């Protein structure tokens, strides 16, 4: 029996003896190997949009506090629609805890990068580590996080999220401080001294919220670094 003409063949039916490409289903208009490339820019745009929303949320918290940082305010700052924000974050609480978690990761990465330039050892390194830890507690991320922490005391929907986030950040900050100070926590008093350094940094961050406390803070950092160094490296008996 003779072959049918092209006009007689059904839609999607290919010419006898002619195989469909291996990467293509019958009736497909576009090779399958193009699809991942088409999806990739969309994924990149989605990641970029999410990044803008998170950065805007942190900036709004630092400037306006919890009550003034509505989703609409964040969207306006990020230059996205409310629908775009809700695509990434279902609730306001989810948005802001994700924002602080994201920025905390960036903070930890920046701290690690700064640590590469610290003095090699001795009291100079101890001072540099203490100064660095205090500096990051007086920046915009700490201010933003503080607003979220305070809001969590009155917002049950936030409290569980923020408590878990605080515990995770606290553990990682302590671990990095131990690493940068080369602290031996098996020595009595060393673990407490390292934690006291972080608690002091947080307290100095609070003192800096209402006014510039840098002059007084500099003296405290110098004195505490000497005290801490004596605990880390006590003089030989």
Mean predicted lDDT score pLDDT of the chain: 82
Q: Which pLDDT does position 39 carry in this prediction?
A: 59
What is the CA 146 to chain-centroid distance, rounded?
15
Nearest residue to 102 (alpha-carbon basis) of 68, 132, 145: 145
Residue 236 or 56, more confident: 56
Q: What is the mean pLDDT of residues 207-234?
A: 92
Q: Which pLDDT does position 124 carry in this prediction?
A: 93
CA distances from 153 to 9, 162, 217 (A): 71, 10, 28
Q: What is the mean pLDDT of residues 43-70?
A: 89
What's the DSSP call for residue 33? G
Q: What is the dihedral of CA 208, 144, 60, 110, to 10 degrees?
A: 100
Question: Going by C-beta distance under 8 Å and a sequence separation of 6 or more, which residues neighbour residue 163?
Answer: 152
**Residue 220 scores a pLDDT above 80:** yes
Q: How confident is the model at residue 111 (pLDDT cuts 50, 70, 90)?
A: confident
The answer to whether residues 63 and 145 touch, using CB atoms and an 8 Å cutoff, is: no
Q: What is the mean pLDDT of residues 97-124?
A: 84
Rounded Cα–Cα distance for residues 56 and 169 (Å): 21
Helix axis angle for 156-181 and 122-136, nearest 10°, is 160
Rounded Cα–Cα distance for residues 4 and 97 (Å): 65
Rounded Cα–Cα distance for residues 164 and 160 (Å): 6
- Secondary structure (DSSP) of 94-119: HHHHHHHHHHHHHHHHHHHHHHTTS-
Q: Which pLDDT does position 165 carry in this prediction?
A: 85
Question: Going by C-beta distance under 8 Å and a sequence separation of 6 or more, which residues neighbour residue 11?
Answer: 27
Of the listed ranges 24-28, 43-47, 221-225, the least confidently predicted one is 24-28
Rounded Cα–Cα distance for residues 27 and 153 (Å): 59
Rounded Cα–Cα distance for residues 62 and 148 (Å): 9
Q: 0.75 cut: is pTM over it?
A: no
Q: What is the mean pLDDT of residues 147-151?
A: 86
Q: What is the mean pLDDT of residues 46-55?
A: 92
The answer to whether residues 130 and 221 touch, using CB atoms and an 8 Å cutoff, is: yes
- Secondary structure (DSSP) of 44-97: HHHHHHHHHHHHHHHHHHHHHHHHH--HHHHHHHHT--HHHHHHH-SSHHHHHH
- pLDDT digit string, tens, across residues 173-204: 999 999 999 999 999 999 999 999 999 999 99
Of the listed ranges 76-85, 119-128, 155-164, 213-222, the least confidently predicted one is 155-164
CA distances from 152 to 77, 155, 173 (A): 23, 5, 21
- pLDDT digit string, tens, across residues 20-32: 443 443 334 444 4
């Amino acid at each position: 029996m003779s072959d049918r003409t092209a006009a007689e063949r059904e839609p999607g039916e290919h010419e006898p003896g002619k195989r469909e490409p291996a990467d293509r289903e019958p009736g497909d208009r576009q090779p399958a190997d193009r699809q991942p490339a088409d999806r990739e820019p969309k994924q990149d745009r989605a990641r970029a949009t999410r990044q803008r929303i998170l950065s805007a949320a942190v900036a709004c918290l630092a400037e306006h506090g919890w009550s003034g940082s509505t989703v609409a305010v964040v969207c306006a700052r990020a230059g996205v629609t409310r629908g775009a924000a809700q695509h990434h974050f279902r609730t306001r609480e989810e948005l802001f805890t994700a924002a602080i978690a994201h920025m905390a990761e960036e903070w930890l990465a920046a701290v690690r990068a700064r640590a590469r330039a610290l003095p090699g050892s001795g009291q100079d390194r101890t001072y540099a580590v203490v100064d660095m830890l205090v500096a990051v507690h007086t920046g915009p991320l700490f201010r933003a996080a503080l607003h979220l922490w305070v809001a969590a005391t009155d917002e049950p929907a936030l409290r569980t999220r923020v408590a878990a986030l605080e515990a995770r950040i606290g553990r990682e900050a302590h671990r990095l401080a131990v690493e940068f100070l080369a602290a031996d926590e098996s020595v009595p008093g060393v673990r407490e001294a390292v934690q006291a350094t972080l608690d002091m940094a947080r307290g100095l961050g609070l003192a800096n919220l209402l006014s510039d406390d840098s002059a007084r803070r500099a003296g405290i950092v110098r004195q505490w670094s000497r005290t801490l160094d004596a605990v880390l490296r006590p003089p030989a008996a």
